[in-house]
Amino acid sequence: MKNVLLVEDHPGIALALGVRLKSMGYAVTTATDAVSAVSHARKRRPDVLVLDIGLPAGDGFLVSERISRLPDNPPMPVIFITASCMPGLKERALQMGAAGFLQKPFDAGVLADAIEIALS
């Protein structure tokens, strides 16, 4: 079973995505802010990171950078998600090596497809 770290500060979105991903056979850990995201990544070493860009205590880009620098942490694909329409976010995510970028709202099936591609 593949492990997904879902970092989303909106409780309703986190719950809906978590339930859907679990129903598809993924083990899902949820974090709601930048600090807990890094902590969970250090402890659980997920196979893929689904990361909201707008987070309390630091943005998703900072979280991705911090996780990539964790000692003894193998590289993991990152799928950035955001509700922001700010120009340049997708380009920045791709420059950082993102495995995917999804603009909210999106269907959970689209996320599941992006995870499958990222893990292949």
Sequence letter at residue 81: I
What per-residue string of b and e applies to 39-54 under the rule 16 or more CB within 10 Å gives b? ebbeeeebbbbbbbbb
Residues 60/12, Cβ–Cβ less than 8 Å: no
What total of structural domains would you count in the chain? 1
Residues 102/117, Cβ–Cβ less than 8 Å: no
Q: What is the CATH number of the domain that holds 62?
A: 3.40.50.2300
pTM beyond 0.85: yes
Count helices and strands (H / E) in the chain: 5, 5
pLDDT tens-digit series, residues 9-41 = 999 999 999 999 999 999 999 999 999 999 999
Tokens at residue 17, please?
């995505």
